[in-house]
Amino acid sequence: MAIFHEKLFLSSLLIFCKIIEVYSGGPVYTPPNVERVTDRFTRVSVNQSYSVSFGSSNVRVTNNGTSVDLSLDKSSGSGLVSKNKYYYGFFNAALKLPSGFTSGVVVAYYLSNSDVFPHNHDEIDFEILGHEKRRDWVLQTNIYGNGSVKTGREEKFYLWFDPTQTFHDYSILWNNHHIVFLVDNIPVREVIHNNAIASAYPSKPMSVHTTIWDASEWATHGGKYPVNYKFAPFVASMRGIEMEGCVLNRKDVASSCSRSGLSSLDPVDGEEFAKLSSQQTTGLEWARRKHMFYSYCQDKSRYKVMPQECNAK
């Protein structure tokens, strides 16, 4: 009888777990432990770090300047741009995304110099894409140098948490060695600076941007599900701002930032930022194995000849 009750209990527990999985939008994954890179840098206020780039009526600074709400409604999206331009550095934003039906909505955290080089610019992007399912956001990463969106190198991930419930860190580490995209300090993508990708590696000073906007034309299945403004306003909140890099304030900034050693102005040029630790490598492998569902290096319909760095992997 005891064995029967034990089996009944285990069966009930399994059914309960399946129900929880269904209602939570998918399986629950616990990420591996990694170093908290965000703890190494100083947090700054909204007014210290950003200016409004567009949609000023939809920007609301909160909590004595430590956080900000960015809104999208039928009249406009909204965005912030960093007061400084940076050549290499570490950049972080803790974001909480809009809940509900968000198809066509994009929340972006990225570096770009398109204002200075409109036809030949660099970018390092986090773009978080709303979806037709109520809580299913997609994380897209992208980089390009000396090009445009047509030369992008996108990879897409499902998140292992609900990004609408609380704040999560989205971080970019960019130096002469590699570019690392991190989510809650877990590396999800590493782009190593080598000969194969040298021509497309971002190499010019960039501004930091945080935006929310209407991407109905492409964001969800090629524009199949546009933004439904019946659910507006869509509000993304940001706090946990970190920006430490080589600030573009004199002509020799690029050479100063590319040198290693004590004379460098680059805060992420040290040995500890040159390559991933064993813990970070484990986290990277976990994120890509469990959560990545698209990589440009596997898109044979887009590329008849794969980019050179794909063949080097």
Just list the catalytic residues: 123, 127
Can you tell me the distance from the alpha carbon of 152 to that of 149, in angstroms, rounded to the nearest whole number? 5
CB 21 within 8 A of CB 28: yes
For every residue of 71-92, DSSP letters joined together read EE-SS--EEEEESS-EEEEEEE
Can you tell me the distance from the alpha carbon of 6 to that of 106, in angstroms, rounded to the nearest whole number? 48
Name, in order, each residue with C-beta under 8 angstroms of 270's C-beta and a sequence gap of 6 or more.
none
Helix, strand and coil content of the chain, in percent to the nearest 5, comes to: 25, 35, 40
How many other C-beta atoms can be found within 10 angstroms of the C-beta atom of residue 210? 26
Residue type, 97: L
- If we measure between CA atoms, which residue out of 117, 137, 131, 115 comes closest to residue 226? 131
For 43, phi then psi, to 5°, come to -85, 145
> Where does the chain show beta strands of DSSP type E?
50-54, 59-62, 67-72, 78-82, 86-96, 105-112, 121-129, 138-147, 155-158, 168-174, 178-183, 186-192, 207-214, 234-247, 292-295
Residue type, 28: V
Can you tell me the distance from the alpha carbon of 79 to that of 232, in angstroms, rounded to the nearest whole number? 17
